[in-house]
Amino acid sequence: MKVRFLAAVSMVALCVGCSEMQPRPSIEANQLTHKARSLLIAYTLDQSPLLRAHAIEALAETNQISAIDSILDALEDEHPGVRFAACMAILRMRYGPAEAKLIGRLQDPDYSVRVAAAGALRSLGNRKYSGVLANMLIAKDVAVRRNTALVLGRIGERGAIKLLRKAQIDDDISVRLQVVEAMAALGDENAQKLMINCCSSAFDDEAILAMLALGQAGCSQAREKITYIYGQSGSANRLGMQLVAARALALLGDDRGQQTAREALAYRTGDAQSAARIRNLAAIALSEMRDPNNLKYLQPLLDEEDPDVRIAGALAVLKCLTR
C-alpha cells in the first residue's frame, strides 16, 4: 500500500477471508438507540483522546442533540484534537447556544482549534471572526493550513471557493489535496473532475479521500469510476479499499456493497488490529446505507472488544434508526 500523507480516514489493503456475521435477535428500537447513544457519551470521557474525538464526531454525525452537554464539555478538553472535534461537531449540528463558548476558543493555544471555532461561529451566522479563516489559510504550520481548508469546506458556503483557489498553489501536497477536496464539497466542477482523477491515484490515502469527498458532494459523475474501483478491489482481494468504495457509492445512493459490508463485520483474518479496521470500515459503509434491515447485523458491534469498532457500530445503528 502506497501512502503519500496521513489522511483522516482508516486505510487497509487486506485479503478477504470472512463469513457473514450471524444476526442477533433485535432489541426494541428505543432500547437500541439508548444503548448506542450511551456508548458514545461514555467514550467522550475515555482515556484515549482519539476515542474521545471519534465519539464526539459520531454524536454530531447522528445529530444527538440530547448529548450536547458532552460535546460542550469537550470544548475544554486537555487535548487539542478533542477540542477541534468538539468545535467541528457544533459546526455540523449548528448549535446556536454554544456561541459564547466558541468565542472563548478563539484564544485557544492551538491554532487549528481557533480555526474550527471561527468556522463554527460562521456556520451560526456570526461573521465577525471570518478573518481568522483567511489568515490561517496562509499560516506557517502545514496542519493549520490543511485544517483551515477542511473547515471552509465543511461550512458549506460556495463563496469560500474563491478563497480556496488561492491556496491551490500551496507548497505542501496534503494542503493542496485538502483544498481541492473542500472545493469539490462546495460544488466546484473543476475540483470534482480533479477528485475523479485522484480516485485512480497510486497512493491509497489520496484515492480514499477522493472517493469519499465525491460521495459526500453527491457527485453523480463519479459513480462509474467508484463502481469500477469497487469491482477491481474485490477482484484483487483488497477488502479495505472495496469497503471504502462501498461507502462512497452508498453516499451516491448505490447500495451494491451492502452484502460485502455485512460479511466483513465478521472479519477476523490476520492480526487483530487490521481485522478490527476492516470491521470498522464495514460498519461505517453500512451506516451510509441507513437500512433498518442491517440493524440485526450491527447490534452485536455494540459489545465488540475493539473500542473503535464499538463506536462505528453505534454510529451505524443510530443512522439506521433515523433513516
- CATH code of the domain covering residue 271: 1.25.50
Q: Which of 323, 230, 247, 257 is nearest to 288 (CA)?
A: 247
Distance CA 114, CA 148 (A): 10
pLDDT confidence of residue 23: 56
pLDDT at 98 over 60: yes
Distance CA 263, CA 286 (A): 11
What number is the average pLDDT over the span 159-172? 95
Tell me whether residue 139 is in a domain: yes
What number is the average pLDDT over the span 222-233? 97
Tell me whether residue 184 is in a domain: yes
What number is the average pLDDT over the span 165-177? 95
pLDDT at 101 over 70: yes
Distance CA 151, CA 163 (A): 12
Q: Which of 319, 213, 198, 310 is nearest to 265 (CA)?
A: 310
Tell me whether residue 60 is in a domain: yes
Tell me whether residue 287 is in a domain: yes
As a whole-number percent, the residues of the chain with pLDDT over 90 amount to 89
Tell me whether residue 307 is in a domain: yes
pLDDT confidence of residue 22: 53
Distance CA 121, CA 168 (A): 25
Distance CA 39, CA 58 (A): 11
Answer whether 234's CB lies under 8 Å from 260's CB. yes
Tell me whether residue 137 is in a domain: yes
Q: Is 196 helix (H, G, I), strand (E, B) or coil?
A: helix
**Cβ neighbours of 323 (radius 10 Å):** 8
Distance CA 139, CA 233 (A): 38
pLDDT confidence of residue 7: 39
Tell me whether residue 2 is in a domain: no
Answer whether 294's CB lies under 8 Å from 258's CB. yes
pLDDT at 11 over 50: no
Please give the residue that has the higher pLDDT: either 61 or 25: 61
pLDDT at 17 over 90: no
Distance CA 308, CA 284 (A): 11
Residue 246, amino acid: A
Burial class, 224, CB count within 10 angstroms (exposed 0-12 / middle 13-18 / buried 19+): exposed
What number is the average pLDDT over the span 262-289? 96
Torsion-angle region of 125 (φ positive above 0: left; ψ -120 to 50: alpha; else: beta): left
Tell me whether residue 21 is in a domain: no
How much is the mean pLDDT over the chain? 92
Each residue of 46-78: pLDDT tens digit?
Answer: 999 999 999 999 999 999 999 999 999 999 999
Domain that holds residue 90: 29-321
Answer whether 201's CB lies under 8 Å from 175's CB. no
pLDDT at 5 over 50: no
Residue 177 CB partners (closer than 8 Å, separation 6+): 5, 198, 206, 209
User: Residue 10: pLDDT band by 50, 70, 90 thresholds?
Assistant: very low
What number is the average pLDDT over the span 163-173? 95
As a whole-number percent, the residues of the chain with pLDDT over 70 amount to 91
Query: For the chain, what is the domain count?
Result: 1
What number is the average pLDDT over the span 191-203? 95
Residue 100 CB partners (closer than 8 Å, separation 6+): none
Cell of 168: 491551490
Residue 313 CB partners (closer than 8 Å, separation 6+): 36, 283, 298, 299, 300, 301, 302, 304
Task: Give the length of the chain.
Answer: 323
Sign of the four-CA dihedral 69, 75, 79, 84: positive
